[in-house]
Chains A and B, each alone.
Chain A
Amino acid sequence: METLDQIFVLSKKGILDFLGTFLPEWVVTLACVAITIKAIAVLGPVTMMYLTLMERKVIGRMQNRIGPNRVGKWGLLQPLADGVKMLTKEDIVPHGADAVSHFLAPILIVIPSLLAFAVIPFGRGMTPVDLNVGVLFFIAVSSTTTIAIFMASWGSRNKFSVLGGMRSAAQMISYEVPMVLSVVPVILIAGSLSTNDIVLAQAGWGGLKWFVFTPWGFFAFIIFFLCGVAECNRSPFDLPEGESEIVAGFHTEYSGMKFALFYMAEFMNSFTVSGLAATLFLGGWQGPFLPSWLWFFLKTYALIFVMIWFRGTLPRIRVDQLMGLAWKFLMPLTLVNILAAGLWYFTEGAARWLITASILAGSFWLLTKLNRGYTPEKRVYLFAE
């Protein structure tokens, strides 16, 4: 059990020990870094490839279809076939495009997604880089995606691209605020910005003392997850690439592998956001019986499933609804949530459950009431009749 739990750590140690028998120490140190980087650099794209398959399969099932099942058993080789197709496609650069930014954007958009993998604790002792400001690093890095998207939209010299890029900028900046504020209670209770320490703070109750099982944690989790979905431009917040409105938004003018890189970034973002949500609120790799890394991947994939489930269910929301949700609903709720987490920190026993739960439920109800749209009892038509 212990071996299974630490299998990746032990195998890395084994490789380094083997290298240490005939290589100088500085090479072994470099190899230690290289192995981790290699693991992430492989994990990211492979995850992305199979997320595309998972997305197509799950959405197919939701629409009573089978989904891809022709390439390999259960369509398991479909991502490879797609990759080959993408690589053999023509690379088109529009006449009059800003060549540099058009070329750089798909490369730049992948970098933050891969960097974000660095602070995700995949298992016990399996955080690639255990930064003491891990959460801050994640948020800072993932917010730079906006720049790449805006570069893509501006460099394409296409009105639909620019519209998509503008929407993306507005949306990402709006959702960044409640996203960061919803993480604050976790940092408050855990007392650390390090992702590993946050996971360790959720130890107990047989591995089930997750933050999501507290009133403030529950609300923060939902807010964080919704903002995360909006951050990686996934449905129902996929306004930047709204197919029915603005062709394909910021990647209208991209083809072949450059287009695939945008998708790679999107799927890797959804993996890292789900991973961070699992880390912050679902106890990370904590859990009974199973190996720690298996728990982490189970939780992450469950959250990704929820994202796909959203996409299979909800229509795209309007821009005003998008902004309204972020600024008028999620944002006040996160502020109340920080207050609730503070009260939770300073009170004890049943009282703190009662106080935080009632404050949050009350404010949730109040915000619902305040956000209710105005519908006149009788519609007045100014120019008809």
Chain B
Amino acid sequence: MIFGTGILQGLMVTLKNFVTSYFKAPDEGGIFTVEYPEKRLPEKERFRNFPFLLYDKNPENLRCVACDICAKECPPKCIYIVREFDKDGKPLKRPAVFDIDFTVCMNCGICEEACPFDAIYMDHEFEIASADRHAKLLYHRDDLLKSNEYFHKIRPTDASAIDARRREAEEKKKAAEAAALAAQKAKEAAAAQAKPPEPPKPAAGA
């Protein structure tokens, strides 16, 4: 071996990259860069970003019940929830205030995992830059609301799995209710059959 052969080999590698960068595809030695604002890579389904609140059919019908679990689980504590009350001071199963501070959120997705009501999910929206970090990056309830259709659009696999699970649960619940109702009816019928003339006890007690 003489001096310079290794260097020449190295130089050939970079020269090849230089030349092929003009006409080859990215995986054959071309340019990998995607010029972002004009072109963009297809979004991966599992890509996760800031959370959003899910509603079914109309924004009034949101799934969140203001249980505060996500706010407690959130590691940087960026979620703030206040339960809604009706005129009589009776608590309702919906949040009056649901704020997420996106300057604090670290996109971990623990809220999504913690939520027992399938109400909060991680979004694909990432272009939230703004000149005002205090007002524009504190997202309120109405900014966070997004429909189930949108969820189906960005994460079809997860969304249909969750929908299937919810439907199943609902059906099970309905079946259980129906069974309970049937059992109740059967019980009542049996009781009626046993002692038809006697009136029901609670009525007598009252």
Contacts and interface: CB of A to CB of B under 8 A. Distances in A.
A61 interface: yes
A365 B2 contact: yes
Interface stretch (B26-34, B54-62, B81-89, B124-132): B26-34
Contacts of A69: 35
Nearest to B1: A368
Contacts, number: 50
Interface residues of A, number: 19
Contacts of A309: 11, 14-15, 18
A12 interface: no
Interface string B11-40: 101110110011000100111110100000
A313 B30 contact: no
B135 interface: no
Given A313-B10, A313-B11, A314-B10, A368 B2 contact: yes
A256 interface: no
A312 B14 contact: yes
Interface string A51-66: 0000000100111111
Contact of B18 (A58, A314, A365): A58
A301 interface: no
Contact of B14 (A313, A365, A367, A368): A313
Nearest to A305: B18
Contacts of A61: 17-18, 21-22, 31
A297 interface: no
**Among B2, B13, B22, B29, which residue has the most Cβ atoms of chain A within 10 A?**
B2
Nearest to A306: B11
A310 B14 CA distance: 9
B50 to A, nearest CB: 27
Given A309-B11, A314-B10, A65 B17 contact: no
Given A309-B11, A309-B14, A313-B13, A368 B32 contact: no
A368 B4 CA distance: 10
Interface in A209-236: none
Contacts of A62: 14-15, 17-18, 21
Contacts of A310: 11
A329 interface: yes
A198 to B, nearest CB: 27
B7 interface: yes
A309 B13 CA distance: 11
Contacts of A368: 1-3
Given A313-B10, A314-B7, A314-B10, A64 B2 contact: no
Contacts of B35: 66, 69
A312 B33 CA distance: 18
Interface string A317-335: 0000000000001000000
A341 B47 CA distance: 68
Nearest to A69: B35
A314 B12 CA distance: 12
Nearest to B7: A314
23 contacts: A61-B22, A61-B31, A62-B18, A62-B21, A64-B17, A64-B26, A64-B29, A64-B30, A64-B33, A65-B31, A66-B33, A69-B35, A309-B18, A313-B7, A313-B10, A313-B13, A314-B7, A314-B10, A367-B3, A368-B1, A368-B2, A368-B3, A371-B3
Given A364-B2, A368-B2, 12 more contacts: A61-B22, A61-B31, A62-B14, A64-B17, A64-B26, A64-B32, A66-B33, A310-B11, A312-B14, A313-B11, A368-B1, A371-B3
